[in-house]
Amino acid sequence: MKLLLLFVFVGLSCAQYNTNFRAGRTSMVHLFEWRWVDIAAECERYLGPNGFGGIQVSPPNENIIVSNPWRPWYERYQPVSYKLCSRSGTEAQFRDMVTRCNNVGVYIYVDAIINHMCGSGGGAGTHSTCGSYFNAGTKEFSGVPYSSLDFNDNKCYTSNGEIQNYGDVNQVRNCRLVGLLDLALEKDYVRGKIAAFLNNLISIGVAGFRLDAAKHMWPGDISNIISRLSNLNTQWFPSGTRPLIFQEVIDLGGEAISASEYYGNGRVTEFKYGAKLGNVVRKNWGEGWGFMPSNRALVFVDNHDNQRGHGAGGASILTFWESRLYKIGVAFMLAHPYGVTRVMSSYRWSRNFVNGKDVNDWIGPPSNSDGSTKNMVIFRNTVDGQAFTNWWDNGGNQIAFGRGNRGFIVFNNESWNMDATLNTGLPAGTYCDVISGQKEGTRCTGVQVTVSSTGSARFTISSSAEDPFIAIHVNAKL
C-alpha cells in the first residue's frame, strides 16, 4: 500500500515535465509562423513517418494587427483576446490540424502569451485578427473581456511603467515588458480567463504549453494557473495525463531572477545550451557548461527570437544562415542525451545590416521550410535512454561519441580530411550513414560503414563536405 502511494506521488510530481510524446519519440520541432492547414499536411506526410514527437506552434489566439507598413511576425506576441483566429488560420483549421496531427502521433504544443496583452501604443479599434474591439489606451479588451482593473500598473513603480532594471524582481514581474500591457495574474478573474483559454486548447487535443515571458510572471501565479488546468483529452492520451509545461525564462546568469525558481512549475527553456553549443561548434572549446538538470530542461540550437537578434544568446548562436555549422549543431544536439530537444523550422528573410544590427528583423512570413534533420530525429528516438559512451576526439575538432550499443556519431570540424578507426560500441555489421543517405529496404543510399566484431569501424570524412559528419544506428543496419 505504502509502495503504491509512493508511486502515485512520484507519478503526479513528474507530470508537467513529461512531453507525453508517443512511445519511441523524443523531439519536437518549432513550426514558426506556419499555417494550420500546412502543419496538418506536414504531420501526415513527413513528421509522423519521420518520428517527430511534437510541434511548437505559433500563438493561435487573436492578436493586434500591426502595420509597419507590413505586418511583422511579432504582432502575434500582442494578444487581443483568446479567440482562436490568427494569420495561421481559423479555429476550424486549428481543430482539424490538432486532430490530424494527434492521429499520426505528432502532438501540438501551444505558445501561450499570458503575461500581457498588446502594447500600450496599440491604439483603439478592431484592427485585430478576429475583429474584436479593444482600446490599448483605456486597457479595454472586449473579446475577453478585460478592463483596466485587470492590469498591473498600480504595482509598478518605475517612472514610465516599463521594466528599467532587470536586477529588480518587482519591476521585471509587475512592470511592462517593452510597453506590453501587463496582466494582474494574482487576480482570480484573470487567472480564470487564462485557465479557460488553456483548457479550451486542451479540450481540442493540445498536449502542452510554452509559457511566453515566464520570467515576467511570479512563479506562484503560474503555479495557480497550472493547478486549474484539465487533464489531456482522453481521445488521444491516457486518463490523468497532465499537460507539458515549458517556461520561457532566459537565464544566462547575472540577473536577479533565476531559472530554478520555475522548476516547480515545469520545464524551462535552457538558453545557455544554444549559446555554449554555438561556441563549441565555432571551436571556442573548453568553457564550463553549467546547465540546469537534464530532466528540467528544454533545449534548442536557436529560437525565433535569437535567430534574428531578439532575446538571448548573442553572436555565438548558430542559425540556418550558416548552414554547415548549423547542421553540425543540430546533429550534435539530437545525438547528445541532454534535455528535451526542439529543432527549428522558420523562414528566410532578406537581412539588412545597419551599424551591425539587422533592421529587417521584424519581417513576417510566408515561409519556406528547411528541414535537414529528419534522420537525426530518428537517431535520437533509436538511442533514447542509452548512455553517452565511447567519447573520442583528436585533441581538436574531430569528435565522436556513442549512445550505448545503439548509435554512434562522428564529426570532422577541422580544415583537413579525417581518417580514423574508432570504437563504436555497436554490434558487428554494415551500417548505413543516415546523414549522406538512408536505409531503404535492404540498400543504403549513402555512405556505408562496416563495424568489426570488436565494435571498431573506419571513418573517412572530407573537410570540404557540406555535412561533415556521419551517424549510424542499429535501425539503419543493413
Q: Look at residue 270 and give the partner it binds from ligand QV4, Ca ion, none, a contact being a CB closer than 5 to 8 Å depending on partner kind.
A: none
Q: Give 18 or 120: the residue with its C-beta nearer to ligand QV4.
A: 120
DSSP character string of 378-412 = HHHHHHTT--EEEEEE-SSSEEEEEETTTEEEEEE
By CB under 6 A, tell whether 305 contacts ligand QV4: yes
In whole angstroms, give the CA distance from residue 29 to residue 341: 8
Helices (DSSP H) in 128-243: which residue ranges? Answer: 169-174, 188-204, 219-227
Stretch that binds ligand QV4, among 13-21, 95-103, 118-126, 150-158 (CB under 6 A): 118-126
Query: Does 215 engage in binding with Ca ion (CB under 5 A)?
Result: no
User: Regarding beta strands 27-31 and 340-345, do their DSSP bridges make them parallel or antiparallel, or are they unpaired?
Assistant: parallel
The CB-of-108 to ligand QV4 minimum distance in angstroms stands at 18
Q: What angle do CA 343, 83, 363 make, to 5 degrees?
A: 45
Q: Which is nearer to Ca ion, 79 or 402 (CB)?
A: 79
C-beta of residue 445 within 8 angstroms of C-beta of residue 412 = no
Helix (H, G, I), strand (E, B) or coil at 262: helix
Among ligand QV4, Ca ion, none, what binds residue 182 when CB lies within 5 to 8 Å by partner kind?
Ca ion
Candidate residues 121, 254, 286, 441; the one interacting with ligand QV4 per rule CB under 6 A: 121
Q: Which of 87, 216, 374, 406 binds Ca ion (CB under 5 A)?
A: 216
The residue from 39, 80, 112, 180 that contacts ligand QV4 (CB under 6 A) is 180
| Binding segment (CB under 6 A) for ligand QV4, from list 123-131, 184-192, 208-216, 468-476 | 208-216
Nearer to ligand QV4, 164 or 389 (CB): 164
Nearer to ligand QV4, 21 or 109 (CB): 109
179 binds ligand QV4 (CB under 6 A): yes
Strand 208-211 vs strand 107-112: parallel, antiparallel, or unpaired? parallel
d(C-alpha 261, C-alpha 271), whole Å: 15
Distance, in Å, from the CA atom of 111 to the CA atom of 270, rounded to the nearest integer, reads 16
Joined together, the cell numbers standing for residue 420 give 580514423
Question: Does 242 contact ligand QV4 by CB under 6 A?
Answer: no
CB 57 within 8 A of CB 28: no
Q: How far is the CB of 203 from ligand QV4 (least distance, A)?
A: 25
Q: Which residues pair with 358 in a beta bridge?
A: 353
Instruction: Single out the catalytic residue among 62, 150, 212, 270.
Output: 212
Does residue 162 touch ligand QV4 according to CB under 6 A? yes
Which C-beta is closer to Ca ion: that of 182 or that of 212?
182
Q: Distance between CA atoms of 324 and 308, rounded to whole angstroms?
A: 18
- Of 101-109, 213-221, 317-325, 380-388, which segment contacts Ca ion by CB under 5 A? 213-221
Catalytic-residue membership of 212 = yes
Q: Is-contact 319 326, C-beta < 8 A?
A: yes
DSSP result, 83-108? -S-BTTB-HHHHHHHHHHHHHTT-EE
Q: Is 251 a catalytic residue?
A: no
CB of 317 to ligand QV4, least distance (A): 13
* Bridge partners, residue 140, by sequence: 135
# chain residues binding ligand QV4, by CB under 6 A: 21
Q: Residue number with the shortest CB distance to Ca ion?
A: 216
* Residues 221-240 contacting ligand QV4, CB under 6 A: none
From CA 342, how far away is CA 452, in angstroms rounded? 34
Catalytically active residues are 212, 248
Footprint on this chain of ligand QV4 (rule: CB under 6 A) = 74-75, 77-78, 113, 119-121, 162, 177-180, 212-213, 215, 248, 250, 305, 310-311
